[in-house]
Structure 1
């Protein structure tokens, strides 16, 4: 007897089914994507017992003629490709001729379909074998019913989870799929109860509102950026809202929902310096690239893709999200008129690098004047007046607005100002520096010395002038001048320590790491007294930053206490 045997056709089909059909959600995915490929405008999904007992997907697409319906459950039969060259630019969902036969081989399946208003057909199969074909009364479109999933594969059936778990997977899958084709109406029921009714939507935000509520949709910022042949659109969570609700991740490439940790990491990289470590934002992005730039035929269930050149796409994703977070809308919680609006005062836009008027610099930002009454103006705009400020516990700055009291954390606020100033210096040119009357001699270890040599140019852009002085000794001639109490030696040592052994693959990441470290160490501290001039200068400078509500660690820089809340605490309401 031969030790090697050729498997029976039914066994081969069940093995193939294991690659495509992992659980009931896999069945729903394949059937819904087939409906999309049929240009359906309405899809109805009915699930029983978490899909373990019955799944029914009905669409109003172009349907199939009888001969096509019979071929549809045969392996390697497809309407999408004719030869290998068609695989290069395939853009439809179902194209491999695997899904329906794979599902049919491990279930009982009914296909009811009609094309072009012609006679309908019912094809009934069990275990991959056709057992009945007859006429059916059906309008144009297709209904596929899958019953008793894995009835003939008990080993697979034993690994199905509870009805609740399987239903949750289906609900997540439908939500993700519905984000892909917003123009399609989707109706979902579970055990006879309607649980999702999504009308056709004109925008991603409208579909998100239908799925998870208008309040959640309003927390998201629009992304829309094009770099070369890469177009990134979608919605991402505002930094101020990250961690306050359910995190949702949806990545779509060329109209196909996929799993791609690299793209998620690229989007999350845009949040560096805006959210606390360990928190992760919601990301709903659609990425469009040329068809020949991505291979969708690398995973049996088509949930993963391979990019011809991944880096430029990830770079565009990060840039697109970063640009979106930098818009005023990214802090919509500040109020329509801007968080810094004081009754009767409108803050004019100021360039980040022009944090104070020339010739009138505050000691807080490296000058000699004692007060700053206005922020810079451009194109004849009115000067920005600063409201009366008061320091509390040598830690917070307080001012009054028409709708309440605002507290500013002086360290976090100064850290944000310095971070953006240092980032500008790293990317555009050198920051202001102060020449030391007596050079500072700094003894460092081998690792710190290597870190300095690797990042020497960046330190110079921040305002340091440093020379090697033999061995592991550095001679510091000039230092940044963020404020009179700045401890240059401590800041430099801690910056070198932070950079030692760090792995930062890109220039932008290295810039952010160094700018964040220096800003944190250079910022004024809690417990430092501030003069009126310093508080005014900090207020004006913070008002010009891109993300004034967060420091580089993602912590809040400002807290608003509404009058209503204060009056409730005192029993006045």
Structure 2
């Protein structure tokens, strides 16, 4: 007796169903995508008992003729492709010709369809076998009803999750489709109760607002960037808001919702130095690239893609998100509706560039207020950077509040800057530049500092000795774990070098970062935090101006290295509302 045999078609169909139809949400996804491929402008989804007893998807698309409706239930039948070459750059959602027959093989399936209002066709099938084909009067479009899913596959039915869990999966599938195709109207009903009613939306922000709420959507930051042939757009969470609500990740590649850990990591990498470790932001990103640079035919459910040059795509995503986080829109605010989004397009910017305005020279890399640093003594790379022409920054009238915040007025509101967080951001970027490109200038002490360290602190210093030197600390050993400090950086006149070194070494004790860049970021962030001016420090007008200009010239002015906001914006509309004027 031979050991190899051809499987019966019924068994083969159920195996195919196992690849495509994992749960009721898979049925909803496939049927909704078929509706969208048919040109639908309206899609209605009705489910009962979490999709266990019924899934019905209705659309107003192109519909099918009688012959096509019957043929659609045959394996490998598709209207999307004709030859192997068509798989390159395929833009349709469903193209393998397996979804409908796979669903039909494990359910009672009913199709009503018409290519024009009036005469249509109804096809009834069960367990993969067509039972009846007859005429049916209906409007143009298609309705597919799937009942008793997995009725003939008890092992699969046994592994279905609870009704609530299956319903959650269905809801996520519809939401995903709605986010991809914002030009289409969607409704979702569960056990007779409306769950979603989403009209066509003009933008991603509007769609997100309709699904998750206007306040959530309005707090997101726009991403819009092009790197060569790769475009990245969408919305990302402000660092100040990360962790305050449920995390949501939504990725689209060439019009197809996908899962891709590499893109997510690249987007999260853009948040470096703005978020504490372990906190992850919400992302709504749409990536477009040439069709021949991405393979969509690598996953049975078409949920993953393969890039020809993944590194370039991930770098484009990281750059786009990083640029978005560097705009004033990413700053925290109160009453954001006045600023932009659903109620308008006005985008106030607290830091304006005006070449005819007051010129305030940028502080040298050695420190924000260190005016006595000799440029000639600085390394060549730093000295060159200091002599490079800077754009002129318009500095508004500044006021210090509670010796903690700087305040200034704009036409559309009031802006507050946290002096410690702002200085921390400035120093972090300066220290990172010193660690990556060359040593920072320092000031020699008249009398060396003597530091007696514990064993753990001593080990932390030994591990980072060369990096401390780049930051401007000239230190030598004095036996055991005792150090003599001869030179220190000068970030501001009140800088306490001994306290900064001790607290930094305490923080670095037991540091487990192994990558060079990660070590640089860790050290720069720690020293910047300890060296920055503190809340309660009085600032002169010149010092406030210098801090304002230095912050304006950073890459991420709205966030400190811990994810806290440096800038908070309050619109006049919100102020008037608080005082009862609106």
| 1:264 aligned counterpart, secondary structure | helix
Instruction: Tell whether the 8 Å contact from 1:233 to 1:286 is kept in structure 2 after alignment.
Output: yes
1:520 to 513, 529, 532: 529
State the distance in 1 between where 2:221 and 2:569 align.
22
Matched, 1:124 2:124: yes
State the distance in 2 between where 1:214 and 1:75 align.
44
Gaps of at least 5 residues in structure 1 are 339-345, 370-376, 566-573
Task: Report the CA distance between 1:481 and its aligned residue.
Answer: 2.3
Matched, 1:109 2:119: no
Mean alpha-carbon deviation: is it higher for 440-449 or for 294-303?
A: 440-449
Map residues 283-322 of structure 1 onto 2, 5 A cutoff. 283-322=283-322
1:540 to 525, 548, 551: 548
State the distance in 1 between where 2:476 and 2:292 align.
51
What residue in structure 2 maps to residue 212 of structure 1?
A: 212
What residue in structure 2 maps to residue 555 of structure 1?
A: 564
Task: Report the CA distance between 1:555 and its aligned residue.
Answer: 2.9
Map residues 2-151 of structure 1 onto 2, 5 A cutoff. 2=2, 4-115=4-115, 119-151=119-151
Instruction: Tell whether the 8 Å contact from 2:513 to 2:519 is kept in structure 1 after alignment.
Output: no
State the distance in 2 between where 1:97 and 1:429 align.
60
Map residues 503-518 of structure 1 onto 2, 5 A cutoff. 503-504=514-515, 512-518=521-527
Report the RMSD for the aligned CA atoms in angstroms: 4.4
State the distance in 2 between where 1:467 and 1:69 align.
83
Q: Once the two structures are superposed, what CA deviation does each residue of 1:308-338 show, in whole Å capped at 9, x if it has no partner? A: 2211111111110111111111126167699
Instruction: Tell whether the 8 Å contact from 2:366 to 2:490 is kept in structure 1 after alignment.
Output: no
CA 296–439 in structure 1, closer or farther in 2 if over 3 Å, else same: farther
Q: How many residues are treated as equivalent by the alignment?
A: 540
CA 317–503 in structure 1, closer or farther in 2 if over 3 Å, else same: farther
In the superposition, the TM-score normalised over structure 2's length comes to 0.78
Task: Report the CA distance between 1:260 and its aligned residue.
Answer: 1.3
CA 416–381 in structure 1, closer or farther in 2 if over 3 Å, else same: closer
Task: Report the CA distance between 1:85 and its aligned residue.
Answer: 2.7
Mean alpha-carbon deviation: is it higher for 257-266 or for 74-83?
A: 74-83
What residue in structure 2 maps to residue 502 of structure 1?
A: 513
Gaps of at least 5 residues in structure 2 are 341-349, 374-388, 575-582
| 2:271 aligned counterpart, secondary structure | coil
What residue in structure 1 maps to residue 369 of structure 2?
A: 365
Q: Once the two structures are superposed, what CA deviation does each residue of 1:335-374 show, in whole Å capped at 9, x if it has no partner? A: 7699xxxxxxx865499xx9963799998632369xxxxx
| 2:313 aligned counterpart, secondary structure | helix
Q: Once the two structures are superposed, what CA deviation does each residue of 1:213-267 show, in whole Å capped at 9, x if it has no partner? A: 2222111111111111111111111222222223221101111111112211211
Instruction: Tell whether the 8 Å contact from 1:414 to 1:538 is kept in structure 2 after alignment.
Output: no
Task: Report the CA distance between 1:546 and its aligned residue.
Answer: 5.6
CA 305–196 in structure 1, closer or farther in 2 if over 3 Å, else same: same
Instruction: Tell whether the 8 Å contact from 1:389 to 1:535 is kept in structure 2 after alignment.
Output: no
Instruction: Tell whether the 8 Å contact from 1:451 to 1:496 is kept in structure 2 after alignment.
Output: no
State the distance in 1 between where 2:152 and 2:99 align.
17
CA 348–189 in structure 1, closer or farther in 2 if over 3 Å, else same: closer
Instruction: Tell whether the 8 Å contact from 1:451 to 1:499 is kept in structure 2 after alignment.
Output: no
Mean alpha-carbon deviation: is it higher for 432-441 or for 159-168?
A: 432-441
Instruction: Tell whether the 8 Å contact from 2:110 to 2:144 is kept in structure 1 after alignment.
Output: yes
State the distance in 1 between where 2:229 and 2:510 align.
35
What residue in structure 2 maps to residue 386 of structure 1?
A: 398
Instruction: Tell whether the 8 Å contact from 1:416 to 1:542 is kept in structure 2 after alignment.
Output: no
Mean alpha-carbon deviation: is it higher for 42-51 or for 407-416?
A: 407-416
Instruction: Tell whether the 8 Å contact from 2:367 to 2:490 is kept in structure 1 after alignment.
Output: no
Matched, 1:483 2:484: no
| 1:130 aligned counterpart, secondary structure | strand
State the distance in 2 between where 1:359 and 1:253 align.
43
State the distance in 1 between where 2:460 and 2:398 align.
46
| 2:333 aligned counterpart, secondary structure | helix
What residue in structure 2 maps to residue 420 of structure 1?
A: 429
Instruction: Tell whether the 8 Å contact from 2:273 to 2:562 is kept in structure 1 after alignment.
Output: yes
CA 277–295 in structure 1, closer or farther in 2 if over 3 Å, else same: same
